[in-house]
Amino acid sequence: MTWRVIARRDWRVVLDARLPKAALVGLIGVVSIAAYVYPVVGTPPITTSRFGAFVGGWLGALLAPIGVLFGYGAIAREHESGALRLALSMPHGRSTLVLGRFVGRAGVLGAAIAVGMVIAGVLVVYPFGTLQPLRLLAFVLLCVAHGAIWVGIGVAASALVATNRRALVLGVAALFVLVIVWDPVTAGAEAGLVAAGVADGPIRTAVRVSAQLDPGSAFETLVTALAASDRGAGTWYDGPALALPVFVGWLLGPLSVAILRFEWRDLA
C-alpha cells in the first residue's frame, strides 16, 4: 500500500468529521468576506497581490489552529484505540503511514484554501480590481504551504505521544509558543536592549533574527515581499533571504521529526 492510498483514505476521513468540515467552511467564508471588504477599505490600486498583504497576517494566524486541528489526531487517535496496530499490519511501513496521513490532511486544507482564493480573486477583481495571476498563484501556494506547516506540526505531535489528549496538548502548546508568545517575547527583548542603550551589535542582531524564526513571521515576510512592487534595500534578516529557508525548514522539519520518531517508537 502506498502513501497515496493512505492519503486518499484520510482525505475522506477528514471530510466526514464535523469539526474539520465546519472549519473548512468557516475558512472559505472568512476569506470570501475579506475579499468583499478589501476593495471598499483597501488603498488603491486594488490588486490581487495587494489583497495577499491585506489578509496575510490574520490568515496565517487562522491557518495555524486549523492545521493543528487537522493533524493532531492522525496517529495518536488510532494508537489510543488500538487500531494503529491493525493499520500497521497492512503492507506499508511506518514512514509511509505518517506521510500518507500528512498528505491527506494537508491536501484537504490546501483544497479549501484554493477554493477560498478563487472566490476571493473574483470578488477582488470585479468590477474595478486588477488580476495579477502569477502573484495570486504564488500567494495561494504560500498559504497552502503555511497550512501544511501547521498540519505537519499537528502530525508530529500525534506521532510523539500515545494518546489523543496528549497530542492535542502538545499541539496547543506549539500554537501558544509560536503564535502567541514568540512575537511579544522577542519584541520585549529588543525593547529591553534599547532601554539598556544597546543600539546595535551582535546581541541586537541575534534578537532581530530570532524574531523572524517562527513560521508566522516567515510567512508574513514572504507575503509582503510578494506584494511589494519595489524591493527596497533592507537588512538580510528582514527579507526573503532568511524567511524562505525558515519557511522551508518549518515545512519539512516537523514532518521529518515525526517520521523518524515514529519509525523507532515502541508501540506496545
pLDDT, one tens digit per residue, over 166-185 is 999 999 999 999 999 999 99
pLDDT at 44: 87
DSSP helix/strand/coil, 130: strand
Question: Is the pLDDT score of 249 beyond 90?
Answer: yes
Q: What is the pLDDT confidence band of residue 152, given thresholds at 50, 70 and 90?
A: very high
Backbone angles phi, psi at 233, to 5 degrees: -70, 140
pLDDT at 210: 94
Mean predicted confidence (pLDDT) in 88-112: 88
Exposure letters 38-71 (e unless 16+ CB within 10 A, then b): bbeebeeebbbbbbbbbbbeebbebbbbbbbbbb
Q: What is the pLDDT confidence band of residue 165, given thresholds at 50, 70 and 90?
A: very high
Q: What is the pLDDT confidence band of residue 230, given thresholds at 50, 70 and 90?
A: low
